[in-house]
Chains A and B, each alone.
Chain A
Amino acid sequence: MSGFSAEVFQNEFLPAGAETVDAVVTVRSSVEVVAAAPAEQLEMLVIDTSGSMLEERGAKMHNARLATQAAIDSLRDGVYFAVVGGAGSAYMIYPERDLAVADQTTRGQAKTAVARAQASGGTAIGSWLEAAAYLASLRPDAIGHAILLTDGKNQHETDRQLDAAIRKCVGVFQCDARGLGADWEVDELRRIASALLGTVDIIPRPEDMAAEFTLLTQQAMGKQIGSVGLRLWTPKGSTVEFVKQVAPTLEDITAKAAAVNPLTDDYPLGAWGGDEERDYHLRIRIPTGNVGEERLGARVMLVVDGQDQPAALVRAIWTDDERLSTRINREVAHYTGQAELAAAIADGLAARDAGDGATATVRLGRAVQIAHEAGNEETVKLLQKVVEVDDPATGTVRLRRQVEKTDEMALDVRSTRTVRVKKG
């Protein structure tokens, strides 16, 4: 009924004594969205209006206004929305207080208000998030989403304040975070997006903002299923080593587990569109069995609208047939490689920042090699802006001396984008 399904990819055959079960679970939605009774949705546009937005002869602020107006134009009638200005504290750009309901009139009023927004003051992102959390609390049943734009670091509050604010937003709304230019912190926005089940990306040039905001708003409008959960039953004596979303982006959600009972945990998968596919890599340690025995590694269920439905089984069968146990499952191997790719990029960039050219060359070379093999063409292109590639097959690279800061940030922030297994 719910239109959700899950499929498991694994090599269920384990050598004698093995305790670790790996599986990739593909979760699919295929839901007929009923136009007559759409889910209640809430869109919050949280726009940096700090003083730094005046830079580039006003181009940043000008384009931020255009982008916000484009996002407003993408709101469907009936959607609750608000535009929040962010500086040393948050303030309402539109409506004056609380939320508006999108229609022709409110969209027009909102765009006018946005056109008048002025940039000044500092950057305290936590306060912006708290404002959004308050607004979202007004429509607790709505599918809440925010676009958060900043061009700078979180300078006017502490890290602890930011983290406390993020915690208030978890489970209240989802947030896609975007950094404009090169003066913001990848880690700060990544922390926000990871916790709030959203994405993080760089917008290198102000003129690219409108297209990005339009896209993000359209995607948010497509999320018709508010909260989906991955429910994992694992046997007594087992440990869930990790649960990672591995496509479309890499996101470790292990720590998001909420216990249902001693053997069952729920992992929030956020809001879903009617036609989506995401992959998850599970690794579970279970008590070993004798050769010829079978044990469940996990029972995978999906929780949609509070209803759980059985979805798929992760199995473990112990065998002494090496032809079986040594086979590597393609999906598991692929996403293990994608995780290594992200780690190699992170390591390489960190070593490069620390002035350790040798380590940076080795790790970024390895990243080029994996990306090349797996067909991550976008990632190869991003890597090429940071390293000269002599031979992608062997990962032979040289560090570039002159690297644009935004190119380095783009590589960093997009290192968690994965490609799916090549079929056939």
Chain B
Amino acid sequence: MTAITCPNCGEPAPAGAKWCEACGADLDLTPAVACVDCGALDISADGYCMACGRKQPNERDHVEVQSVGPVSEKQPAGVAAAVTDRGVRHHENEDAVAVAGLSNGSAVLVVCDGVSSTPGSAEASSRAAEAACELLVDRCSELSGGEASARTVGLETVAGWLTEAAAVAQAEAAAAPEVKATRPNAQGGPPSSTFVAALGLASGLSDGASGSGAPAEGEMAIVAAWLGDSRAYWLPAAGPGQAELLTVDHEIGGSLSRWLGADAPTGPVDVVSKSVTGPGWLLVCSDGLWRYANSPTEMWQLVERVDSSHLAGEWPDQLAARSARALHLAKGLVAHAVEAGGHDNISAALWPAISTTAAGNQRGESDDSITEQSTQTQPTQAQPTQAQSGGT
């Protein structure tokens, strides 16, 4: 370890020391951050400018995440990316996203939209999203090569995982501490959030665990569970006519009829599954995005406007590049919603659905680079990606 010298008294101090043991001077050499409004270099610990009072951007205001799953010899990893943004009109981002690339080209996408009228919902949504993603990664770990073949995973089993994910999300949201209502519109209820989790499976589903009725070659599957008005869309390259909204909003007369939280209505969780033929995008999003592109056709067209290359079938071979393209699209979708007015928090999570058989032919030669890339992005076995702050 290299020692540093206290600029105040000249005594040596170990590298990384926060203050000088000799004279007590502040040694934290983190460069001062300038206020986004007036440029003053005096930002308080609680995030306000000490000159003009402006609240500085919160680390949750804009979050971008990418995840590349573990690479096995047999199959390429799955990739996923997500972006969540405060938007324009809300002063806080209560949406949360969690994504994880899995082995075998598959991925987990979770979006939770914290309800703004109940204080504390930002914590409820992030806890719920992370817990659900973690659980799905655990359950899918048997897909990561080894004995169990992806093809043997049955629909009922996967639907069960999604139901479990909804249950852990509910438990986490219900455990989020209640926050005293200071907002005038707060109903004073416990923290609450919507929920949508989707598993994109690159190799399809069998009808049962036995492996009988195995899916056709090149077939993939999406299984999603949701509570509230956050959605999952299937947007295939085949065209806007094939685009599909997989979820049905839980909403009655403008109010949510299902949600996560201590006061959430109980009952079975809706789970939808669909066999799909790629390539295409699985999009999981909050209403902050879909309010600007409601129908599946509109959403497909929005994706095409943001980046038409994938829908035209131009998919990068390398996983890192593919993940970057997914992130690029997620950013583009969110940017569109911000430009359109950003009336709510905006979240978009994406899985590029490319069948393993289709991708299989270029696997061998790029394995080394894939391993390298994935080591950088995802050093451990597919863990749910923690929210990373800031832009790229």
Best-buried of B86, B90, B91, B183 by chain A (most CB within 10 Å): B91
Shortest beta-carbon distance from A101 to chain B in Å = 44
A324–B89 CA distance with the chains assembled, in angstroms: 12
The answer to whether residues A295 and B53 also contact, given A11-B184, A327-B184 and a CB cut-off of 8 A, is: yes
Decide yes or no whether A213 CB sits under 8 A from chain B.
Answer: no
Residues of A within 8 Å of B54, CB to CB, are: 235, 289, 293-296
Decide yes or no whether B51 CB sits under 8 A from chain A.
Answer: yes
Shortest beta-carbon distance from B196 to chain A in Å = 25
Q: Which of A292, A317, A328, A329 contacts B88 (CB 8 A)?
A: A292
Q: Are A295 and B52 in contact (CB under 8 A)?
A: yes
Interface residues contributed by chain A, number (CB under 8 Å): 33
A47–B241 CA distance with the chains assembled, in angstroms: 95
A293–B50 CA distance with the chains assembled, in angstroms: 16
B41-78 interface code vs A (CB 8 A; 1 in, 0 out)? 00000101111111100000000000000000000000
Residues of A within 8 Å of B37, CB to CB, are: 289, 293
A317–B90 CA distance with the chains assembled, in angstroms: 9
- Of residues 358 to 403 in A, which have CB atoms within 8 Å of B's CB atoms? none
Q: Are B55 and A319 in contact (CB under 8 A)?
A: no
Residues of A within 8 Å of B90, CB to CB, are: 292
Decide yes or no whether B182 CB sits under 8 A from chain A.
Answer: yes
A272-296 interface code vs B (CB 8 A; 1 in, 0 out)? 0000000000000011010111111
Shortest beta-carbon distance from A233 to chain B in Å = 8
Q: Are A324 and B185 in contact (CB under 8 A)?
A: yes
Q: Are A295 and B55 in contact (CB under 8 A)?
A: yes
Best-buried of A235, A237, A319, A323 by chain B (most CB within 10 Å): A235
Q: Are B52 and A236 in contact (CB under 8 A)?
A: yes
Q: Are A323 and B185 in contact (CB under 8 A)?
A: yes
A283-319 interface code vs B (CB 8 A; 1 in, 0 out)? 0001101011111110100000000000001010101
Q: Are B89 and A320 in contact (CB under 8 A)?
A: yes
Q: Are A286 and B185 in contact (CB under 8 A)?
A: no
A299–B48 CA distance with the chains assembled, in angstroms: 10
Q: Are B87 and A324 in contact (CB under 8 A)?
A: no
Q: Are A13 and B52 in contact (CB under 8 A)?
A: no
Q: Which of A11, A13, A292 contacts B86 (CB 8 A)?
A: A292
A384–B73 CA distance with the chains assembled, in angstroms: 93
In the complex, the chain B residue whose C-beta lies closest to that of A289 is B54
Shortest beta-carbon distance from B119 to chain A in Å = 12
Residues of A within 8 Å of B87, CB to CB, are: 292
Residues of B within 8 Å of A356, CB to CB, are: none
A332-361 interface code vs B (CB 8 A; 1 in, 0 out)? 000000000000000000000000000000
Residues of B within 8 Å of A317, CB to CB, are: 91
Shortest beta-carbon distance from B184 to chain A in Å = 3
Q: Are A294 and B88 in contact (CB under 8 A)?
A: no
Shortest beta-carbon distance from A287 to chain B in Å = 7
A234–B51 CA distance with the chains assembled, in angstroms: 9
In the complex, the chain B residue whose C-beta lies closest to that of A291 is B89
Decide yes or no whether B38 CB sits under 8 A from chain A.
Answer: yes
Decide yes or no whether A73 CB sits under 8 A from chain B.
Answer: no
Residues of B within 8 Å of A287, CB to CB, are: 52
Shortest beta-carbon distance from A19 to chain B in Å = 13
Residues of A within 8 Å of B48, CB to CB, are: 295-296, 299, 313
A328–B184 CA distance with the chains assembled, in angstroms: 8
What would 7 A/B residue contacts be, using CB atoms closer than 8 Å? A12-B182, A235-B54, A236-B38, A292-B342, A293-B91, A324-B185, A327-B184
Interface residues of B (CB under 8 A from A): 37-38, 46, 48-55, 86-91, 182-185, 342
Report the 8 A-B pairs with minimum CB-CB distance, sorted nearest first: A327-B184, A235-B53, A296-B53, A294-B55, A295-B53, A317-B91, A296-B48, A11-B184
Interface residues of A (CB under 8 A from B): 10-13, 233-238, 263, 286-287, 289, 291-297, 299, 313, 315, 317, 319-321, 323-324, 327-329
Beyond A263-B50, A296-B53, A321-B185, 6 extra complex contacts between A and B, CB < 8 Å:
A234-B53, A235-B49, A292-B89, A294-B55, A295-B55, A328-B184
